[in-house]
Amino acid sequence: MNVTEILFWILSALAIASALLVVLSKNPVHSVLWLIVVFFAISGHYILLNAQFLFIVNLIVYAGAIMVLFLFVIMLMNLNTDTEPQKNKWLKVAGVVAGGCLMLVFVAALKSSDTQQVQMGEGNIGLIQNLGKALFNEYVLPFEISSVLFLSAMVGAVVIGKKGD
Amino acid sequence: MLALLLILIPLITGVVAFFIKNEKSVKTWALVASLATLVVSIWSLIHQDNYHSVYSKEWLPDLGSSFSLGLDGMGRMLTLLTAIAFPVIFVATNKSTYKDSNQFYGLMLLSLTGLMGVFLATDLLLFYFFWELALVPAYFLCSKWGGERRIPVTFKFFVYTFLGSLIMLIGILYLYFINPDKSFSLSSIYKIQLTDRAQDILFWMFFPAFAIKMPIFPFHTWQPDTYEQSPTATTMVLSGIMVKMGLFAVIRWLLPVFPKTAHQYDNIIIGFSVVGMIYASCIAMVQDDLKRLVAYSSIAHIGLMCATLFAGNSTGTQGVMIQMFNHGINIIGLWVVVELIERQFGTRKMSELGGIAQKAPVLAMLLVIVALANVALPLTNAFVGEFLMFSGLYHFNVWYAVIAGISIILAAIYTLNMIQKVFYGNTNRVTENGVDINWNEKLILSVVVILIFSMGIYPKPMIELTQASVDSLVGVFK
Amino acid sequence: MNNVLNYIWLVPLLPLVGFLINGLGRNFLSKTLVSIIGCGVLLISFAVSVYIFMSVKSGNHEVVKLFDFISAGTLSIPFEFQVDALSSLFLLIITGVGFLIHLYSTAYMHEESNAHFARYFAYLNLFIFSMLLLVLGGNYVIMFIGWEGVGLCSYLLIGYWFKNTDYNNAARKAFIMNRIGDLGFLLAVFWMIQQFGSTSFGEVFSKANGISVAVLTGITLLLFVGATGKSAQIPLYTWLPDAMAGPTPVSALIHAATMVTAGIYMIARSNVLYTLAPVSQSVVAIVGLATAILAATIAIKQNDIKKVLAYSTVSQLGYMFLGLGVGAYTGAVFHVMTHAFFKALLFLGAGSVIHAMHHEQDIRNMGGLKKKLPVTHLTFLLGCIAIAGIPPFSGFFSKDEILAAAYEASPVYWIIGVAGAMMTAFYMFRLYASTFLGTFRGTEKQEHHLHESPAAMTIPLIVLAVLAVMGGLVGIPKVFAENAHSLEHFLSPIFAQSEELVKKEHALDHTKEIGLMAASVILALIAIVYAVNRFSKKPELQEAEGLGKVLANKWYVDELYDAIIGKPLKAISTFFNNVIEKSGIDGFVNGIGVGVQYASRQLRLLQSGQVGSYILLMVLGTIILMIVQLFVS
Amino acid sequence: MNVIVLSAIWGVVMMFSGLFIASKSKAKFIAIAGVVALLIANYFDLHHKVFINSDFNGLLRYDSFGLIFITIALVSTLLYLLLTGRDIEKVGNHVYEYFALLFFVLCGVGIVSVYNNFLILFLGIEIISIPLYILTGADKRNLKSNEASLKYFLMGAFSTGILLMGIAFIYGAKGTFGLEMPPIATPKLPVMISIGLIFLAIAMSFKVSAAPFHFWTPDVYDGAPTVFTSFMATVVKAAGFIAFVRLFEVSFGVMTDHWQFTIAIIIGATLIIGNVTAVFQQSVKRMLAYSSISQAGFMLFAVYSVNSLAKEGILLYSAAYCLATIGIFAVLIKMRDYTFDGFNGLAKQQPLVAFLTAIFLLSLAGIPLTAGFLGKYYMLAAAIKSGTYIPLLIIAMLCVAVSVYYYFRIIQAMYFKEGSADAVDVTSSYKGLLVFTATLIILLGIFPNSFLLDWFHVL
Amino acid sequence: MEGLMPINYYIFLALALFCIGVVGVLTRRNAIIIFMCIELMLNAVNLLLVAFSKMHHLNVLQTNPATNVGTDAQLFVFFIMVVSAAEVSVGLAIIVMMYRNTHSIDINFLNRLKH
């Protein structure tokens, strides 16, 4: 029971707990905050796995930009009070049951699979230097493509979001 | 070469017909086209050599299919029947007017193309193509120019037959993959050695398509409605020729390929057919609508042919062969009469007609002759066929022949009933100012009558024409 | 080829030509022309037949093959004519009597309009043609062609006055009854094909010995079914009386002289088969006898002049079958001949009466026509005597030959037969008396118009009368003179094979035979005397009671048939049409369509529009697929 | 590669020309010019002449299969723009942006038809989806359009999650994102691959709208502006199939017997739901949505049986399907009323248009002499060749018979019913193009080899 | 040695998060929250991918110390983040548009299109 494992367990527990709270909390704003917590926990895992680059990106892009965006939208629509009326109870139950079943199936399928080890702590593939090389050598094409993707997303956002027509 | 012509002429003329807007000229055009086809098919009777009767060209190489046509005895006979039928139809319906007549005659010629193709194709996939192509124009003809219930009725007819052929399509594909030299050509398919199990499955994939087309009991319910609703010209095509497609297909593609299964289930099929004969005859007795009556009588006749086919002895098969031709002629004759009556008196209800014989003696006489041919009176063509068929059926099993024989009596009952109700007795307000038929209608009917008697008195040429086909079929079937 | 028999095809061809000319030219030809053609062709073919008859009499006979009719696989049916004693004899009867009746018709049908007159003669000629085919046919198929042809012609001629629905019904009934018989015939033919591989008489009879009796019995019985249809025997006899709807000459020709005897001809022709199948022989005999009695009883109470004659025909035919059944083939054929003479005579006489009475057929409205129609009266009387079997008239010889043979077979036959004969005598003279004797009972308008018929009608009467009187002399039994039975001698080649098959062990001794004859004659005479006294004074005008009523209504046989066959058939057809077809099969087919529509309406509801439920369904689908993928397959 | 690059570039060009050109109506000409340019670029692609020459470390794989499909897609797009370009202007104000987005979609289509790596697949699918979310919602005033767009977006995102999960498991099993799968030694499939396979299958099924992941299709097709529905239902969907087939051929082709049963279930469900539900529809547009589901059911046979026949077949089928559907939508757009009764008596007013519509419908129904028949034929042949369950085929056939019902309803309405339906602003060039499309369908139906399939072996 | 972890832990953790996300999608009605749950699912995938990358890295490490196997997975995660950012921008735009027109982002009111 070394420190890594302890951290692992704590972060996992945190991630799952706050994920549950995202789903459960009535108030959208709270959900957003809890989701940010989840992201932090996951970033913690990235640290454990020594994926530093992803750790940074995750914090900046997700926990930073994206979630703030969400927050803005929610504020904009002033949904901060728990205005959401109750969904049909049976649908809720069905949803939960379905999700549970999905999990069960996963577990049933995977429990018997041979377990391999994951390298924690060291290993330098997660470092920016390494990833940058890879990204601009063999992965330059997807990089370009993703630029097109952004372009289209941008155009779309403009088309949709532009007011007054 | 001639084989190709038989398809090309109606195809091209048919397409052209769509663009001839003037009604009179399109009628003439169609008539000329059909006569040309007739000339070619008669020509093909004279030149029976390879060069004239076989045509083959590469078409879908990687599907193992080729555009190959061939004329054998049976093919010659049926193409001749088709080629005779269309001019007759065109002349007989000359007086009746169809809106958008250019489309009407165009479609008629296209269906002629499809029928010719079916009888000529010696490649299974090509056969399937034409099999469908004959159906589509018929569908349009029926549901554009038909009676008031035409749309649902013809749609049922279309889906019913289409479904049948779809199942057949699966069978065709299986046959193709079983076939060692991956080909659809008739010769190579005849050579396939099928396992019993394969035969069983495939047989039941092919048979329904043909059974629906013929149709035999209990797949027949589309037929009376369709015949009743569709314009008589189309009804003639459907009942005179398209019905023969089913029988032809059984002879050409079913029995030789799956002889074992055919033997195995012959009793079931013959049983159904024979039951169907009695059943249809009974129903025919209580019909009031001429078209329905003829439709049911046709079902009964077809039942006999199908039963005899599966009895599979040379006598019976020979009977079926020539009966295919004769039944075509007779029933077209009947439809012509029905058409003339309906056009003149505006009704097909026997209960509303009567006493026409006084007003139209010639029509009456000709109808009586055709009707008697329909009940297979000796010296009419149908007698020869039915005699041989019954004899064949008798060889197969006495009791089938006996039961089937009852339908002879029933046929006499409903046919004479029809004659009496429509032509004899006293005139009523519907028929009181009827007039006799004019010369070209007389001409048509007398052509039919002449065919009836010549085939009835001297059937030898027809028998010799189809002899070879019969022998080969029976040979395989043994 | 100088052999006259090779010109046999002329005999049927001529009537056919007549038919075609009259039929196609019916709108152009004048009545005289039509009559000349109609009768002329027959006269010629009669001449040819006489010629052929002579050459046959001089001992040559052969099978003339015209062309291949049907040949499929092993089966080959040529279009061939069999010219021998039997057929040539029938040729004479058909063409001869036929000619007379044509002649008679020219006058009888004279009121008809041109076209219909021509149509009548066309039909008549066509009938003669088919009848000739029937008797000339060299195999059963050709015979069958004629067989159905005559049925068709009788249909056409019965329904000749097609405006009248009853007549049409009668015609239809006749055709359908015949069809039932024909089915039997046809099946027999198929059976033959199966057994002998051929239908030619020569081949069949030569091979017949080798075939098991059971099969032969079956074949012969089926053939007999055909005969009962054509020759109006139980159970298919009811059409014949109705057939009287046709013009009287037609009744005379078709329903008395020729067509109805086709059955007898056919059985006589296949005598070998019957002789080899004793069971069917006795069936034939019994049915014949039963018919004879039944018809006779009915005839007693009929008031329609033609109906009486019709039933008497049926019963006479019964006698002929009795004869065939007991192996007296010659006798049967003999009776066919004589019967042709006197029954044709009687019908034509009746026709003459009806003509004179302006289509009055009910004998209750006749009487005392003796002086008004002398010729008719005389000839009719002769005919009655002949049919009653009083020597030396023709009927006596032929009938007695049959009865004698019947006695040999079993005395019971004889007794019943004689009873029948007695009844025959009774009703014939009841008819005669109430028609010609006593006082006139019709309207004075009719009385005013009463007149003897024209020569064209009386001449045939006279000729036939002579034949009816003399006809018997060709077959004088041994009792009176050794081998004076020229007919038997003439026909012997036909029946030779059967003769040797059954060895006649004891011929009836002469004294006994004479006794039987005497008995039958005396009984007949008693019946005659009683009938004449009874009906010349006061004919029965009131409706019959009790048994009489039953007889007057023909034992209600028609009603019975309708009840057990007609109605059920109609019912079941309606059931098929309305229930099984519409609701059952078609209902099922349409039901599929409806089912799809319904399913569509239900499946639509899955598309609820709710994203939540969509995704839920997707997740469920995922789960199911995973289970299938991971744990099932 | 040319096509991908050029389409992306042309998208940008459209955007900027939007800034400089005032009139809307110019847009479609630029776009058409663009597609023509793309066709030329594609011509070079076909002959392996690439402008920007660089190796993609096996991220892309140019084979005849993908190249031919790109050609089909471009031709279809060209026809689509020619037939319905003018109707795009009617949708909203951002005409140039719409065209730009269409070009981005084309770029994505180019990507997914030649991808050789899960990463590219993912990006390609996204690059197709995101513009489509927008185009679906393009008609901003129309609530249906908004709703469709939101539904499409939510479910699309969800399916993306599933796709990624699948990819993750495949990666976990084999350690690379390359498509090629090392042959499996064990008789039982490793669990991780199994799960990954299922999730990928589900995600792709979603994209090609196969049951039970089809629910978005009717609503989105119905809600989206008809012009864009036409594009979505044809080119995009076909591209989805190409991606699907490629994925299952290259990655899972070695282990067919492990997953064929699962796919068979999807096929059966898709066929039944698609056809049966279409029967009761009243709106032709919505009926076409369901018909596209049922057609997808048939195309799935190609996924089921990954063999050469299947690949030829899916090409032929998608060509036939795209042409016919584009044609029908082109006619539908011109109609005033989208219900079946809206077509009553069209044959009177517009005999030619009605006739051509009939041909398109016959092709969809799979009547011989039309390309639709041969497409179905190839599918069946491929399925039988790779050994299939006869019941499945029977179901397929029954479904075809059912499909005849709803396709022929239009024919019946046009030809056999009385009515005064008319198509608005039908120009002769429009008619000419329809004729051209129909001719293509017929030609493909009679001479598939000389017009399409021979390239498959040549290239 | 120190710092090894069975992969299954990560797998189950990721799956748990994934399923929680699914449950959220199924049970909430607020479009934004549903969208957030989808983001949660994506993050679960990211975590899993990173874990796998390290796993494969370790596997190869024994044979080849200088390997960089596993890089691709981390790059993949990077792309996922990129794409999801794009998606978020578009998605939020759509949601806002919806909100403008109907003043609600409750998916239960999205039922104009059905059947």
Q: Are D107 and D4 spatial neighbours (Cβ–Cβ below 8 Å)?
A: yes
Minimum Cα–Cα distance from A102: chain D residue = D195
Q: Are A15 and E17 spatial neighbours (Cβ–Cβ below 8 Å)?
A: yes
E110 touches chain A (CB under 8 A): no
Q: What are phi and psi of D283, to 5 degrees?
A: -95, 130
C605 touches chain E (CB under 8 A): yes
Q: Which of A105, A125, A141, A150 to mutate to test the interface with D (most CBs of D within 10 A)?
A: A141
E54 touches chain D (CB under 8 A): no
Which chain A residues touch C623 with a CB distance below 8 Å?
98, 101-102, 105
B177 touches chain D (CB under 8 A): yes
Extract the tokens encoding C608: 């609820």
CA torsion C194-C198-C200-C205 (nearest 10°) is -60
Give the one of E25, E34, E114 whose C-beta lies nearest to C608's C-beta.
E114
Q: Are B469 and B247 spatial neighbours (Cβ–Cβ below 8 Å)?
A: no
Predicted ipTM beyond 0.85? yes
Among candidate residues B419, B309, B417, B328, the one with its CA nearest the CA of residue B369: B419
**In the predicted model, is pLDDT for residue C484 greater than 80?**
no
pLDDT of residue E114: 83
Q: Are C548 and C302 spatial neighbours (Cβ–Cβ below 8 Å)?
A: no
Q: Are B234 and B138 spatial neighbours (Cβ–Cβ below 8 Å)?
A: yes
CB contact under 8 A, D213 and C621: yes
Model confidence at C505, pLDDT cuts 50, 70, 90, reads low
Q: Please, do chains E and A touch (3+ CB pairs < 8 Å)?
A: yes
Extract the tokens encoding E111: 């039922």
Among candidate residues C597, A37, A8, the one with its CA nearest the CA of residue E4: A8
What would the mean pLDDT of C607-616 be, rounded to a whole number? 90
**In the predicted model, is pLDDT for residue C479 greater than 80?**
no
CB contact under 8 A, B133 and D400: no
Instruction: Report d(CA C309, CA C427) in Å as an integer.
Output: 9
pLDDT digit string, tens, across residues D301-341: 999 999 989 999 999 999 999 999 999 999 999 998 899 99
Extract the tokens encoding C166: 């009853």
Which chain D residues touch C596 with a CB distance below 8 Å?
276, 279, 402, 405
Residue with tokens 């309606």: C574
Instruction: Report d(CA C222, CA E100) in Å as an integer.
Output: 95
B144 touches chain D (CB under 8 A): yes
Extract the tokens encoding B408: 């002879």
Instruction: Report d(CA C523, CA C520) in Å as an integer.
Output: 5
Residues 6 or more apart whose CB falls under 8 angstroms from that of C328 comprise: C401, C402, C404, C405, C406
Query: Residue C319 corresponds to which amino acid?
Result: Y
Q: Are B414 and B406 spatial neighbours (Cβ–Cβ below 8 Å)?
A: no
Query: Residue C165 corresponds to which amino acid?
Result: T
Q: Are C408 and C508 spatial neighbours (Cβ–Cβ below 8 Å)?
A: yes
What sign does the CA torsion over D221, D224, D228, D232 have? Answer: negative
Q: Which of D275, D404, D454 to mutate to test the interface with B (most CBs of B within 10 A)?
A: D404
Instruction: Report d(CA C11, CA C95) in Å as an integer.
Output: 9
Residues 6 or more apart whose CB falls under 8 angstroms from that of A140 comprise: none
Query: Residue A83 corresponds to which amino acid?
Result: T
First CA to last CA distance, chain A: 63
Model confidence at C20, pLDDT cuts 50, 70, 90, reads very high
Extract the tokens encoding B337: 């009469």
**In the predicted model, is pLDDT for residue E1 greater than 50?**
no
Instruction: Report d(CA E49, CA E57) in Å as an integer.
Output: 12
Model confidence at C492, pLDDT cuts 50, 70, 90, reads confident
Model confidence at C539, pLDDT cuts 50, 70, 90, reads low
Residue numbers of D between 346 and 405 with CB closer than 8 Å to B? 362, 367-369, 373, 377, 380-381, 384-385, 390, 393-394, 397-398, 400-401, 404-405
pLDDT of residue A81: 61
CB contact under 8 A, D416 and B136: no
CB contact under 8 A, A109 and C626: yes
CB contact under 8 A, D154 and E59: no
Q: Are A34 and A25 spatial neighbours (Cβ–Cβ below 8 Å)?
A: yes
Give the one of D206, D276, D405 whose C-beta lies nearest to C599's C-beta.
D276
Which chain A residues touch C613 with a CB distance below 8 Å?
91
Q: Helix (H, G, I), strand (E, B), or coil: what is residue E95? A: helix
**In the predicted model, is pLDDT for residue A82 greater than 60?**
no
A109 touches chain C (CB under 8 A): yes
CB contact under 8 A, E112 and C609: yes
H-type helices in C79-113, by residue range?
A: 85-108
Instruction: Report d(CA B229, CA B224) in Å as an integer.
Output: 8
Q: What are phi and psi of C9, to 5 degrees?
A: -60, -20
Among candidate residues D41, D42, D22, the one with its CA nearest the CA of residue D455: D42
A108 touches chain D (CB under 8 A): no
Q: Is C302 left (phi over 0), alpha (psi -120 to 50) or beta?
A: beta
CB contact under 8 A, C612 and E108: yes
CA torsion C508-C509-C511-C515 (nearest 10°) is -10
CB contact under 8 A, D412 and B144: no
> Smallest CA–CA separation between C580 and chain A, in Å?
48
Q: Are B111 and B132 spatial neighbours (Cβ–Cβ below 8 Å)?
A: no
> Smallest CA–CA separation between C611 and chain D, in Å?
6
> Smallest CA–CA separation between A95 and chain C, in Å?
7
First CA to last CA distance, chain C: 90
pLDDT of residue C327: 87
B173 touches chain D (CB under 8 A): yes
**In the predicted model, is pLDDT for residue A83 greater than 80?**
no
Residues of chain D with pLDDT under 70: 53-55, 459
Which chain C residues touch B401 with a CB distance below 8 Å?
187, 190
Q: What are phi and psi of B185, to 5 degrees?
A: -70, 145
C565 touches chain E (CB under 8 A): no
> Smallest CA–CA separation between B3 and chain D, in Å?
20
Query: Residue C315 corresponds to which amino acid?
Result: S
**In the predicted model, is pLDDT for residue C508 greater than 80?**
no
Which chain A residues touch E106 with a CB distance below 8 Å?
84-85
Q: What are phi and psi of C72, to 5 degrees?
A: -130, 125
Among candidate residues D326, D122, D307, the one with its CA nearest the CA of residue D232: D326
Give the one of A35, A92, A121 whose C-beta lies nearest to E36's C-beta.
A35
**In the predicted model, is pLDDT for residue C588 greater than 60?**
yes
Residues of chain B with pLDDT under 50: none
Query: What are chain E's partners, defined as 3 or more CB pairs within 8 angstroms?
Result: A, C, D
User: What single DSSP character describes residue A116?
Assistant: P
Which chain C residues touch A110 with a CB distance below 8 Å?
none
> Smallest CA–CA separation between A44 and chain E, in Å?
10
Parallel/antiparallel/unpaired status of strands A117-119 and B54-60: unpaired
> Smallest CA–CA separation between E1 and chain C, in Å?
35
> Smallest CA–CA separation between E5 and chain C, in Å?
26
pLDDT of residue C1: 43
pLDDT of residue D216: 95
Three-state SS letters, chain B? CHHHHHHHHHHHHHHHHCCCCCHHHHHHHHHHHHHHHHHHHHHHHHCCCHHHHEEEEEEEHHHCEEEEEECCHHHHHHHHHHHHHHHHHHHHCCCCCCCCHHHHHHHHHHHHHHHHHHHHECEHHHHHHHHHHHHHHHHHHHHHHCCCCHHHHHHHHHHHHHHHHHHHHHHHHHHHHHCCCCCCEHHHHHHCCCCHHHHHHHHHHHHHHHHHHCCCCCCCCHHHHHHHHCCHHHHHHHHHHHHHHHHHHHHHHHCCCCHHHHHHCHHHHHHHHHHHHHHHHHHHHCCCEHHHHHHHHHHHHHHHHHHHHHHCCHHHHHHHHHHHHHHHHHHHHHHHHHHHHHHHHCCCEHHHCCCHHHHCHHHHHHHHHHHHHHCCCCCCHHHHHHHHHHHHHHHHCHHHHHHHHHHHHHHHHHHHHHHHHHHCCCCCCCCCCCCCCCHHHHHHHHHHHHHHHHHHHCCHHHHHHHHHHHHHHHHHHC
Give the one of D312, D368, D405 whose C-beta lies nearest to B159's C-beta.
D405
Extract the tokens encoding A102: 């999905």
pLDDT digit string, tens, across residues D190-234: 899 999 999 999 999 999 999 899 999 999 999 999 999 999 999
Q: Is the peptide bond before B461 cis (omega within 30 degrees of 0)?
A: no
Among candidate residues B14, B160, B15, the one with its CA nearest the CA of residue B90: B14
Give the one of D8, D94, D137 whose C-beta lies nearest to A148's C-beta.
D8
Q: Is A121 left (phi over 0), alpha (psi -120 to 50) or beta?
A: left
- Other CB atoms within a 10 A radius of the CB of residue C547 amount to 10
pLDDT of residue D141: 87
**H or E stretch at C193:** helix C165-196
Q: Are D122 and D167 spatial neighbours (Cβ–Cβ below 8 Å)?
A: yes
A94 touches chain C (CB under 8 A): yes
Instruction: Report d(CA B12, CA A162) in Å as an integer.
Output: 59
Average pLDDT of chain C, as a whole number: 89
- Other CB atoms within a 10 A radius of the CB of residue C225 amount to 21
Residue with tokens 């001809």: C265
Extract the tokens encoding B128: 């399937």
Give the one of B221, B283, B358 whose C-beta lies nearest to C589's C-beta.
B221
